[in-house]
Amino acid sequence: MTTARSTPPRTSPPRSRETTRQKLFQAAVTLIAEQGFSSTTVDEIAERAGVAKGTVYYNFASKTELFEELLRHGVEMLTADLREAAGSAARRGGGRVDALDAMILAGLQFIDRYPAFTQLYVAELWRTNRAWNDTLMVVRQQAVAVVEEELRQGVAEGELSEEIDIQLTAAALVGMVLVAALDWKAFQPERSLEEVHGALSLLLQGRVGGRGRLR
């Protein structure tokens, strides 16, 4: 009779590559926000992340690639947050304007958690002739597309006016959140997140003009 072999207990795996990449992202975004891309060296990024310089090159071919992936990673996180906010609003029985309002709150919460990344992202949107310009445009469209979809569905369902320019309105809403949040952080830090969201929510809802829906 054959005796079944027992399965040896699993040992805890070493720190995953993803964890290391997260540390490098955090170190890079902090340093670049403090002193600019050109002035930030790979040595400084490695030191701030608490890893060897070779670890940076093991994960990224160059400092430029690291920064490009940082932009992609950050906007993908933001996009995921926006999608989840819209989905949560729908599950609660809300309409498209409720979903847009939930995305505004999610965007503010993201910026509150990652102000250095947001500052870099907005700054890079205005620069040209960067190696990562194409990537930046692609990831920007990912975030805007989430808002576009809610607007498109709102128009199709009759909740929003057919006169809405969906592309421009989506870009305007994303821009509104970015600029308002950066202004809040830089010039009105005494305000709470709830206050800032409340002000932007009023603009979205159209209540300033006495309306309860976006037109």
Lowest mean pLDDT among 26-30, 34-38, 79-83, 175-179: 34-38
Q: What is the DSSP letter of 129?
A: S
What integer pLDDT is reported at residue 2 of this predicted model?
Answer: 44
Which residue is listed with tokens 């809802």? 205
Kindly give, in sequence order, each residue whose CB lies less than 8 Å from that of residue 163, ignoring residues fewer than 6 positions away.
215
More confident residue, 198 or 125: 198
7-11, 73-77, 105-109, 162-166: range with highest mean pLDDT: 105-109
Q: Within 10 Å of residue 131's Cβ, how many Cβ atoms?
A: 11
pTM score, whole prediction: 0.82
Greatest CA separation for the chain: 84
How far out from the chain centre does Cα 202 lie?
A: 23
Question: What is the spatial distance between Cα 207 and Cα 137, in angstroms, rounded to a whole number?
Answer: 33
Angle at Cα 189 formed by Cα 188 and Cα 193, nearest 5°?
A: 100
Structure tokens at 161: 């006016």
What integer pLDDT is reported at residue 128 of this predicted model?
Answer: 73
The full set of domains in the chain, from first to last, is 14-61 (1.10.10.60), 63-209 (1.10.357.10)
CA-to-CA separations, 31 to 55, 112, 184, in angstroms, rounded: 17, 18, 22
12 pLDDT above the threshold of 70: no
What integer pLDDT is reported at residue 15 of this predicted model?
Answer: 56
Among 23, 173, 146, CA closest to 87: 146
Helix locations, 39-188, DSSP H:
42-49, 53-59, 63-91, 96-113, 115-125, 133-156, 166-187
CA-to-CA separations, 106 to 30, 36, 40, in angstroms, rounded: 22, 27, 30
Question: What is the spatial distance between Cα 87 and Cα 153, in angstroms, rounded to a whole number?
Answer: 13
Give per-residue pLDDT as tens, 104-135. 999 999 999 988 888 888 888 777 777 778 88
